[in-house]
Structure 1
Amino acid sequence: MTYWLFQGNPKYYRIIDGIRDFEQMPWLVTRYAKDISPGDGVLIWKSGDKAGMLYGSNLSN
């Protein structure tokens, strides 16, 4: 299994609200999209003043 680090920038997306409100959350992938597969692991990292790791899960379709 491959793991991916997805950055959530609160200037563009309310990442904490998205994690709380959605069972599945769409995510814009700008690099390596062809290498990402369902079942891969994902870690969501929040950038900015209060940066840090927020969430870990597996990718669906």
Structure 2
Amino acid sequence: NRIPSSIVAALTHDIFINGCQFAFEIDGPQDTEVGRLYPDSPLIPLSHCLDAYLSNG
């Protein structure tokens, strides 16, 4: 049950190159930003997470 590499490449391209995870509008009453869902949790840039991971490795 292996997923073909072409499917993995297509999904990776869509997510990281085309930006399907962040290139959309928040416009409906049911849509909300993550900051409103978790107001007490600070948003940390991915680069900070990577730096922390690399310094602990």
TM-score per shorter chain, which class? under 0.3
Between Structure 1 and Structure 2, whose CA radius of gyration is higher?
Answer: 2
Q: What TM-score, normalized to structure 1?
A: 0.21
Q: Where is the strand percentage greater, Structure 1 or Structure 2? A: 1
Q: Which protein has greater RCO, CA pairs closer than 8 Å, 6+ apart? A: 1
Q: What TM-score, normalized to structure 2?
A: 0.22
